[in-house]
Amino acid sequence: MAIVGIGCRLPGADSAEDYWRLLETERDEVRGIPPHRVDVSGVPDGIPTGIGGFLTDIDLFDAGFFGLTPREAIRLDPQQRLMLVTVWEALEDAGLPAASLRGSRTSVYSACLSSDYWDIVRGAGMYDMHAALSNSAWGIPAGRISHLLDLRGPSMGIDATCASSLLAVHLACRDLWSGEADAALVTGANLIIGTDFYRVLGDAEILSPGGRHRFGDARSDGYIRSEGAVSIVLKSLSAARRDGDRVYATIAGTGVSNNGRGGASLAAPRADGQAETLRRAYRDAGIAPSDVDYVEAHGAGTPQGDLTELTALRDVVGSDRPAGQPCLIGSVKSNIGHAEAAAGLAGLVKAALALRHRTVPATLHADQPHPVLAEAPGLLLNTRGRPWPRPDRPGVAGVSSFGLSATNVHVVLVEAPQTREPAVPGPAPTVLALPVSARDPRALDTLAAAYADTLDAAPASALGDLVHTAAVRRDHHPYRLAAVGADPAELARDLRRQLGGRHTPLPEAAPARTVFVFPGQGAQWTGMARQLLATDAGFRARLRECDAAVRAETGWSVIERLADDAPLDRDDEIQPVLWAVQVGLAEAWRRRGVVPDLVIGHSMGEIAAACVAGSLSLADAAAVVCRRSAVLAGRDGAGAMAAVALGEEEAAAAVAGQDGRVSVGVINSARSVVLSGTEEALERALAPLRAAGVHCRRVPVRYASHCALVEPLRERICAALDGIRPVGTAVPMYSTALGRIVDGRELGAEYWMTGLREPVRFHAALRAVLTEDRPAVVVEIAPQPILRSAIEDVIEETGASAVTVASMSRDEPQPVTLARGLAAVFRHGGRVDWATAAPGRLTRLPGYPWQSRRYWAEPARPGPEPAGAPFPPVPHVVTDAVAALGGISASVTDRLRRALTALTTPATTHLPVPSPVRPIVTEETVAAALAGLLHVDPAQLDRDASLTDLGVDSLGATRLRAALDWGDRPRPTVGQLVRGTVRDIAAMAGTPAAAGRAW
């Protein structure tokens, strides 16, 4: 098994990198108790309570990131909060997006021993199911993580006292080895908030009166308590290699046992029990104990604990060793203290980092070696940092963790094998789009700034890997931006340019629909596509295929015409070249991970649309565009066309008197059409429009199409295209000729005549797509975005959540336009296959910047109950909720009421309010009361969210109802309240205006 991700909060270390620096620099992070952390005044003298290894800011938490309301967050044990945070950071460190794990067989094991916070929550009067489950049920942390990430593997809390988190690693490995899980998350946390454990451990004389943790020293006199949270990600080594993961170390085997009745008492350590555990682990790993280079010991630091462990190590890994090659031993507890529930993981991560860096960190405070060591030449207490022994082979390390429950655990680590870097699947584009996202607008700016700083220090050679990691190896959140650039400095500048902008979150829905729109003739320009031919492998390869297909039809080369500075001026050249460029652009998008959910073609653009949709083969599409344009090439002077700023009905009225000699040929939007017909009839129709101030512009074409003038060509065109064989589309295609989604098999010879004869109903097609209840990204597949105005008109008309994206523009370098387009697709929620768009390898990037706030239960202030604001007794809360559900007999609810009466206490039967007078129900008073219930600022309350969405259950709704004066109006039911918003609830009282007295 491979350790591929680490997240941690340890004294003096907020990441694996911090942790290694702490170890490498031999820092001692044992300190005095932080102010206001623990009141030890009531602890008897003689019990050492003044020092420990402590974390900072344990009251801070980014509840919104994890979808928790303030009410839930304040009730949640901060140990569980730390587990959530470090699990997420471990996944980021692993380059494993949480979204990729949804529904997977990923197991979760958590370790936590007790909750000092539960006493604080109860002292604040928070007696409810959420508080109880969040502070006293130790299966909940693992279940919460599985629920949050939608993981379907085994999920459970582990309690083997101090051995809990390493036992969790053992169980996770068994899941992976047996095939019951495909990946595993293991987490453990420990915080020191109360004094009970100090009393218990002090009474047992386990704590060090000297204030230092001295494992392996003759003066060891007890341990130092410590805080910490550690999470790791495990997966099989083969999967880690396949995925190009960073492997810290591999787990080769594990062993677990219990001392049984062999000890003098349950908690007494036993050397032969520990020795048996070590032997089991090395048998499991298939490694001789004499081949172990280093053991990260449990390192209790107590006289009896050290004697027992050193004896077991001497008898197993310290025997039968080659001369001069002792097994090094040490313990991180000398740096940070004993992290109790998290201690096993802290030791495991230290050993894994030591293997990765091939350096054994020093164990501190061991100046006088323990007497057992003097008798054990096969063991050496490592009191100075040194290179890993035996450089000629992969390093082997053991990690021990022993519990007061007499459970012993040992894990065998082996240095990660040296493997070749995974092959990068194809070259990266010359101009890159770097995606950045967050769940909060401030976090987005912070992360973008951190990425910019990273880019400032990055060599150009690292750019592809940085973009790959951000794009492929990180989750994508609703607040988004994306930078575009060809080198690190450009990307950093573009990121900083966007800082502080107005960031709008994407809707929580399916990805935006991606619509490819293929315009007709008119988008061509001299020099188009040359840069992409030179720099974009996907575009170049597809264009060469199109070139061969056109050459087979016509004998001339598309690529040669694109390289020629002579302008394209014949339709039988313009149309094949445009078609080839459009098909090439669609491939360039595909190589960037953007594929259409639907295609729309505009006039001759339907040929490329049908090809990209899969209805026409490349050869058949080339036949259609080349043969049809050849028939049309002899039509010079046969009619004219003009763009007019009118809607379809107004335009139809304007040409009504022309006897069909001019008609509406193209409807682009509600205020843009094209008229098509004979020269004389067109001019007669345009004259009164110009006189009325209507904008009219002649379209530079040699002949009129999409009108009756092309009808005489029907027989010739159908005969020319008789041999094409369309098939069903792989991607839906909306026909602008027929006004509906078409079956690709309809696109035979007759269709391509119909498309030439009938009006182009682009407006109707785009309306049909954009009025669906889903955001859209409309990508214009053309060398110039000539339909942008029409598309934007339809977006404005429909009010759709949509954006239009260009593929190429004569106004900027072609690779830049594509990269900006990719950035826009990402920003607006379009689906991007970043593995295709951003090839590269995993590298380090800044982690998610938590937007933390303080969540801490404060003790309830004693005082008289306010008059007039009684909170209903618990039985009424329950039976009201039951009645709202229905289907429960009166006898059952009556029994519930009687049974629960005894649970009602003064502390839980009243809602403290500052005034003895209940405020009347208005929007403002409802918001104020609800904000107090949720522990949030009223200004931050979403008044359009239901109480359920805000995290209010039936109990909270009953409290809210009791706290307000409903006057003569009937009080709403609990069900009505939990389904309602602040505004709904105010309206229930008939007083929606904010006119009442605020709290």
Residue 903 has pLDDT above 60, yes or no: no
3-state secondary structure of 399: strand
pLDDT confidence of residue 45: 64
Among candidate residues 397, 404, 266, 273, the one with its CA nearest the CA of residue 343:
404
Task: Please state, in angstroms and rounded to a whole number, the distance separating the CA atoms of residues 700 and 698.
Answer: 6
Tell me the residue ranges of DSSP E strands in 753-852: 776-780, 802-806
**Pairing of the two strands 30-32 and 51-53:** antiparallel
Residue located via tokens 């954006």 = 803
Among candidate residues 178, 185, 152, the one with its CA nearest the CA of residue 4:
185
**Pairing of the two strands 598-601 and 513-518:** parallel
Q: For residue range 276-298, list pLDDT tens digits in order.
A: 999 999 999 999 999 999 999 99
Task: Please state, in angstroms and rounded to a whole number, the distance separating the CA atoms of residues 650 and 692.
Answer: 13
pLDDT confidence of residue 635: 81
DSSP 910-962: B---S-SSPPB--HHHHHHHHHHHHTS-GGG--TTS-TTTTT--HHHHHHHHH
Give the mean pLDDT of 862-878.
40
Within a domain: residue 998? no
Question: Residue 955 gets which letter from DSSP?
Answer: H
Q: For residue range 670-724, list pLDDT tens digits in order.
A: 999 999 999 999 999 999 999 999 999 999 888 999 999 999 999 999 999 999 9
Give the mean pLDDT of 495-510.
88
Residues 625, 711 within the same domain:
yes
pTM: 0.87
Quote the radius of gyration of the chain (alpha carbons, Å): 36
pLDDT confidence of residue 47: 63
pLDDT confidence of residue 849: 98
Q: For residue range 524-549, list pLDDT tens digits in order.
A: 999 999 999 999 999 999 999 999 99
pLDDT confidence of residue 615: 98
Find the distance separating the first CA and the last CA of the chain, reported in whole Å: 58
Which pair of structure tokens corresponds to residue 121?
């929550």
Residues 820, 836 within the same domain:
no
Task: Please state, in angstroms and rounded to a whole number, the distance separating the CA atoms of residues 237 and 248.
Answer: 11
DSSP 665-718: EEEEETTEEEEEE-HHHHHHHHHHHHHTT--EEEE--SS--SSGGGGGGHHHHH
Which pair of structure tokens corresponds to residue 552?
């087979």
Question: Residue 179 gets which letter from DSSP?
Answer: T
Query: Band of the pLDDT at 910, cuts 50, 70, 90?
Result: very low
Task: Please state, in angstroms and rounded to a whole number, the distance separating the CA atoms of residues 763 and 734.
Answer: 12
Within a domain: residue 391? yes
Query: Band of the pLDDT at 426, cuts 50, 70, 90?
Result: low
Among candidate residues 841, 842, 846, 843, the one with its CA nearest the CA of residue 15:
846
Residue 267 has pLDDT above 80, yes or no: no
Give the mean pLDDT of 91-96.
98
Task: Please state, in angstroms and rounded to a whole number, the distance separating the CA atoms of residues 732 and 615.
Answer: 10
Classify the C-alpha dihedral 243-92-189-141 as positive or negative. negative
How far is CA 204 from its chain centroid? 46
Residue 125 has pLDDT above 60, yes or no: yes
Give the mean pLDDT of 161-185.
96
Residues 536, 404 within the same domain:
no
Within a domain: residue 782? yes
Q: For residue range 38-62, list pLDDT tens digits in order.
A: 776 666 666 666 789 999 999 999 9
Higher pLDDT, 206 or 214: 214
Residue 629 has pLDDT above 90, yes or no: yes
Cβ atoms 621, 725 nearer than 8 A: no
Task: Please state, in angstroms and rounded to a whole number, the distance separating the CA atoms of residues 10 and 638.
Answer: 81
Classify the C-alpha dihedral 206-211-216-219 as positive or negative. negative
Query: Band of the pLDDT at 925, cuts 50, 70, 90?
Result: confident
Q: In this predicted structure, which of 85-99, 368-382, 872-886, 927-941 has the lowest mean pLDDT?
A: 872-886
Tell me the residue ranges of DSSP E strands in 259-376: 294-296, 327-330, 359-360
Query: Band of the pLDDT at 509, cuts 50, 70, 90?
Result: low
Residue 734 CB burial class (10 angstroms; 0-12, 13-18, ≥19): buried
Residue 869 has pLDDT above 80, yes or no: no
pLDDT confidence of residue 879: 44
Give the mean pLDDT of 159-174.
96
pLDDT over 90, % of the chain: 71
Within a domain: residue 425? no
Q: Can you give the CATH number for the domain in which 660 is found?
A: 3.30.70.250
Residue located via tokens 């402590």 = 54
pLDDT confidence of residue 42: 65
Within a domain: residue 858? no
Residues 405, 527 within the same domain:
no
Which pair of structure tokens corresponds to residue 412?
């065998």
Which pair of structure tokens corresponds to residue 924?
């403002």
Task: Please state, in angstroms and rounded to a whole number, the distance separating the CA atoms of residues 389 and 324.
Answer: 11
Q: For residue range 711-732, list pLDDT tens digits in order.
A: 999 999 999 999 999 999 999 9
Q: Which of 415, 447, 477 is the last residue of a domain?
A: 415
Residues 523, 505 within the same domain:
no
Q: What is the mean pLDDT of the chain?
A: 89
Residues 630, 683 within the same domain:
no
Half-sphere exposure in the Cβ direction for 979 (13 Å, CA): 7
Query: Band of the pLDDT at 300, cuts 50, 70, 90?
Result: very high
Within a domain: residue 984? yes
Residues 900, 935 within the same domain:
yes
Residue 896 has pLDDT above 50, yes or no: no
Task: Please state, in angstroms and rounded to a whole number, the distance separating the CA atoms of residues 316 and 896.
Answer: 60
Residue 838 has pLDDT above 90, yes or no: yes
Cβ atoms 80, 189 nearer than 8 A: yes
Higher pLDDT, 556 or 933: 556
Residues 536, 492 within the same domain:
no
Within a domain: residue 475? yes
Residues 884, 980 within the same domain:
yes
Give the mean pLDDT of 729-745.
96
Q: Which of 386, 415, 444 is the last residue of a domain?
A: 415
Question: Cα–Cα distances in Å, from 251 out to 126, 281, 363?
Answer: 43, 11, 23
The residue range of the domain holding 951 is 874-988
pLDDT confidence of residue 660: 87
Give the mean pLDDT of 250-269.
85
How far is CA 290 from its chain centroid? 45
* Ranges 32-41, 201-210, 444-453, most confident: 444-453
Higher pLDDT, 31 or 991: 31
Residues 292, 272 within the same domain:
yes
Q: For residue range 318-339, list pLDDT tens digits in order.
A: 999 988 899 999 999 999 999 9
Query: Band of the pLDDT at 861, cuts 50, 70, 90?
Result: low
What is the number of structural domains in the chain?
5
pLDDT over 70, % of the chain: 90
Higher pLDDT, 238 or 875: 238
CB 41: neighbour CB atoms within 10 A? 7
Within a domain: residue 993? no
State the angle between helix axes of 343-357 and 16-24 in degrees (0 to 180), rounded to the nearest 10. 80
Residues 696, 751 within the same domain:
no
Sequence-ordered list of residues with C-beta below 8 angstroms from that of 715, at least 6 positions apart, any chain: none
Residue length of the chain: 999
Q: Can you give the CATH number for the domain in which 768 is found?
A: 3.40.366.10
CB 737: neighbour CB atoms within 10 A? 22
Residue 63 has pLDDT above 70, yes or no: yes
Higher pLDDT, 952 or 441: 441
pLDDT confidence of residue 911: 35
Residues 457, 558 within the same domain:
no
Which pair of structure tokens corresponds to residue 845?
């990037």
